[in-house]
Amino acid sequence: PVSCPLPPRHDPDAPPWLDEARGLRAAYERSLATHGRTLVGRVTDADGIGEVLTVLARLADGASPDEVGWDAATILAGTQDVRAYYEEAALSLVGVGGARRIESWFYDHTEAGALMRRLQGALREAGADRNLWYYVLPATQAP
């Protein structure tokens, strides 16, 4: 697996996934400058990743899609924006690491990846449509 050094916690009062995402911003910006493009942008831009994570955390904590004001397509698009943000940041931290290796790093070694796993479980347990909860994680990442 890829080993990407994550930034140390900066704000102990922030949720760990939010503090982590903020800490990766410089790496994300370096990747964007190097490659000149990003896959972030389905629901938000890089400035809104924290807000997307906050909504996803509310869902993982049991809020319904109606309560957060997002439909299934927006939830999935939000998870894709977060994943793209992290994977693009990882590229500037380790260079070329292989798609599955960076994917596994995200889901297995980051706070945001753990949040995605928790979100998938919460949606499944709440009885959400399989087409929603199943695609929160890639099929290559066993729940």
At 91-130, the pLDDT tens digits run: 888 765 666 888 888 999 999 999 999 999 999 999 999 9
CB 24 within 8 A of CB 86: yes
The contacts of residue 133 (CB under 8 Å, 6+ apart) are 120, 123, 124
pTM for the model stands at 0.93
Q: Tens digit of pLDDT for each residue in 57-90?
A: 999 999 999 999 999 999 999 999 999 999 999 9
Whether the predicted pLDDT of 47 surpasses 60: yes
Contacts of 29 (CB under 8 A, 6+ apart): 46
